[in-house]
Amino acid sequence: MKNNVIEVNAVAKQFGEIRAVGGVDLAVQEGEIFGLIGHNGAGKSTLFKMMLGLLPASEGEIRILGKSIQGEAFRQVRRNIGYLPENVVFYDNLTGLETLGFFADLKSVSKNTCAELLDKVGLSHAANRRVRGYSKGMRQRLGFAQALLGKPAILFLDEPTTGLDPEGIREFYQILREMREQGVTVILTSHILAEIQERVDRLAIMKMGKIQALGTVQSLRDEMDLPLIMQIKMQPGTLDDLKTALLPLGLDEAVEEDGKLLIRCPRNSKMAALSIIAGLDGKVADLHVREPSLEDVFLGYSG
């Protein structure tokens, strides 16, 4: 059993009339890549800021690496935390390397690793260029490098892949996997569900300040018992044969799309549907069966 490095107990945050976070319990284990998802305004950033000790909780307790964030010992713990805020701000007149050096000073860590970190996030070619000329994705990479300064044990990353190109996203998750191998715990938020569904170990879905669901993507799928999605491409002129053959299964919501039939098939009808489709033999041109996506699961939970 691994240690819980983040423990959130009955935490709430009230901004006047607005209950941004309303009684959250959460435990994240050492070496986990944990995703936090939810609609705009669900309370993700507020929860993040409380876990970082940047915003006091109105109720409840948060412990990071075993220490209460309200206690004196948290100052020391803070050195082991890397944070990439949603909107990271830099001094445009500094170069990328100078920027990292500046953050290294703020964090009281050695500047020796700055060039290496820039290389890690794919920015070594721009190390001596002023940040003013950096693209959005380059700024995001620089923000990520800043979060990695001082070899943190926990990384809090708020929408870390915003602005990254597909290669940048792949490299980013590759770095996270390497960090996980070293026992680093990562907690991240994202709105790009297709991107995180294969890449997080567990996730929580937040809605109106509360955790609506918590688990692996597969366990959330199972819990929701969402239908499988089957896409069947038929030979020209045979689509009606398929529809007729499937009638006994009583599948509603079949959608026709470019000569293909899209059906939502309950799990317990999967084998029956497949055997009917197989029985149509030469008339079937192609078949795809897919699990519901994280987006389907998300919409199921958060509405």
Ligand X SMILES: Nc1ncnc2c1ncn2[C@@H]1O[C@H](COP(=O)(O)OP(=O)(O)OP(=O)(O)O)[C@@H](O)[C@H]1O
Residues that bind ligand X (CB under 6 A): 15, 18, 20, 38, 40-46, 86
Looking at beta carbons only, is 98 or 159 nearer to ligand X? 159
Provide, rounded to whole angstroms, the least separation between the CB of residue 197 and ligand X.
18
Provide, rounded to whole angstroms, the least separation between the CB of residue 84 and ligand X.
13
Quick check: 49 and 38 in contact, CB under 8 A? Answer: no
CA–CA distance from 286 to each of 171, 235, 252, 264, 277 (Å)? 34, 9, 21, 17, 10
Provide, rounded to whole angstroms, the least separation between the CB of residue 55 and ligand X.
8
Q: What is the 3-state secondary structure (H, E, C) of 4-20?
A: EEEEEEEEEEEECCEEE
Collapse the DSSP code of 46 into the 3-class scheme (helix H, G, I; strand E, B; otherwise coil) and give the result: helix
Quick check: 241 and 288 in contact, CB under 8 A? Answer: no
Looking at beta carbons only, is 44 or 199 nearer to ligand X? 44
Quick check: 137 and 165 in contact, CB under 8 A? Answer: yes
Looking at beta carbons only, is 86 or 171 nearer to ligand X? 86
Looking at beta carbons only, is 209 or 300 nearer to ligand X? 209
Alpha-carbon distance 75 to 77, whole Å?
A: 5
DSSP bridge partners of 64 = 6, 67
Provide, rounded to whole angstroms, the least separation between the CB of residue 149 and ligand X.
24
Looking at beta carbons only, is 75 or 136 nearer to ligand X? 136
Provide, rounded to whole angstroms, the least separation between the CB of residue 200 and ligand X.
17
